[in-house]
Chain A
C-alpha cells in the first residue's frame, strides 16, 4: 500500500508495534518495578492524543483558515505555559507567573513570524501544513528553555541567599547581586539547543528530517529545512529566555530591593 511516496502502515502492523509496550510491561513486572500504571497511561494517552491530532490536522489542512492556524498556535502556547507551571515544583509567586506568560506569548511568536515570513516564505502566511508543525517546534523548545531558566534562576538565587544578601547590604543593585545566577540560568536554557546542534546529522537525524526523507523528499531539501528550523529554534529559545530572565529576576525582590524568597 503506497500513497504519496510513503508506506501507509497497515492497521494490524501498527498494532504489532505495541508488542514493545508488552515487553516493557513484562520486564517491569518481572523486576518488581511498580511502573505498570504509568506505562499504560503513557501509551494510552499517546495513542489517543495522536489520533485526535491526526483528525484535527486533517480537518485544518483541508479547510485552511487564518483563525484556525492562530487558534492552534494559541492552544499550543497556553498548553506550554500550563506545562511550565506544572514542571516547577516550588510555588511561584504571581509576578513570576505573569512573566512566564508574557515571555511565552511574545518571544516564540516574534521568532515564529520572522521565521515564516522571511526564512521559509510560504503563502498564504497561515498555510497550516507549514504553520502548525513549525509553530510546534518553536513553541515547544521555548517552553523547555523557559522551564530550565526558571528552575536554575530560582535554585541559584535561593541557594545563594546569604551571598546575594551580603552584596545587597553593601549597596549593590539587585541586578548586580544576582548577575551570576541570571547568566547561569540563561546558559543552562540555551545549552541543550546548542548541544543538539553539535550532534546534529552525526549522532542522530532529527524527527522532521527523518519524516521528510521517508516521505520521498531529497535529503538535500530536508537539510535545508533542518538547518533553518534549528537556527529558528535557537533564536526562539534565546529571545524568549532573555526576555523571561530580564523580566523575572526583579520578581525575586521587593520594591525596596530586599530579597523576597
Chain B
C-alpha cells in the first residue's frame, strides 16, 4: 500500500475511517460533485492539511515530509492546468525548472508529446492551443517529472471520448512501465472501465457524520 488514511476529517467534506491505496496501480476516484474528490487529492499532495486523522505515505506520516519534497514525489495535476506565454518547449521545461531539476533534451520532449498525442512542434506558441491541447501539454509536462505518484484531477475533461481513451491509455502505459502509481479523478465511465485497477467511490458526507 502506498497511501494509508486513518480517521480523516476535513472541513465537513471528507470523513474517511480507513482507506488504503495500492502502489503501482491505477486507482480511479469517482463520486458525485461535492463529495470531496479534489479535496482528497489535495490532502495527499499536502496542498491542504486534514482537521484530524493520519495519512501515511509509504508507511511514513505525511507531516514528516518536507511538503515541497513530497510534492516532487507525489505530484498533482490541477483541474485547471496552466500554460505560460512562450513556446511549447518552454512550457514543457517549466515543470523541471520549477522543481529545480535539470532540463531535458528535445528528444525526450518530443517523446512526451507523442505519448499524449499532441502533434505540434516544440517551437510553436503554447497560447494558441485549444483547451484539449493545453490539457495534453500539461500531461506531457507532468510525465517529464518522473514522479512516484501522479494525482490527476480530471485530466481529460476537455477531450472527446475517443481522444480521452487514446491519450490516457498511452499515458498510463508509460507510467506503469516506470513503476509509477496513479490516482485519478474522472467523470468518464469509459475511461474508468478501461483503466481502473482499483476504484474508490466517495459519497457526500452527511451532517450526522460529524
Are B77 and A171 in contact (CB-based, < 8 A)? no
User: Measured between alpha carbons, how far is A169 from B72 in the docked complex, in Å?
Assistant: 8
Are A170 and B47 in contact (CB-based, < 8 A)? no
Are B78 and A171 in contact (CB-based, < 8 A)? no
Interface residues of A in 49-104 (CB under 8 A from B): none
Instruction: Give A121-135 as 1s and 0s: 1 = Cβ < 8 Å from B's Cβ atoms.
Output: 000000000000000
Looking at A166, A170, A176, the one whose CB has the most chain B CB atoms below 10 A away is A170
In the complex, A183 has a CB within 8 A of chain B: no
Query: Chain A interface (Cβ within 8 Å of chain B)?
Result: 162-163, 165-173, 176-177, 256-258
Contacts between the two chains (Cβ within 8 Å), count? 60
User: Measured between alpha carbons, how far is A177 from B82 in the docked complex, in Å?
Assistant: 12
Which residues of chain A have C-beta atoms less than 8 A from B81's C-beta?
166
A172 partner, pick from B45, B69, B77, B99, beta carbons under 8 A: B99
Question: What is the size, in residues, of chain B's interface with A at 8 Å between Cβ atoms?
Answer: 25
Are B67 and A258 in contact (CB-based, < 8 A)? yes
Which residues of chain A have C-beta atoms less than 8 A from B142's C-beta?
170
Query: Chain B interface (Cβ within 8 Å of chain A)?
Result: 45-49, 67-69, 71-72, 75-78, 80-82, 95, 97-100, 142, 145, 151
User: Measured between alpha carbons, how far is A2 from B170 in the docked complex, in Å?
Assistant: 90
Show 29 residue pairs from A and B whose CB-CB distance is below 8 angstroms, ordered by the A residue: A162-B80, A165-B47, A165-B78, A166-B82, A167-B82, A168-B47, A168-B71, A169-B47, A169-B76, A169-B78, A170-B71, A170-B72, A170-B75, A170-B95, A170-B142, A170-B145, A171-B99, A171-B145, A172-B98, A172-B99, A173-B68, A173-B98, A173-B100, A176-B98, A176-B100, A257-B68, A258-B46, A258-B49, A258-B67
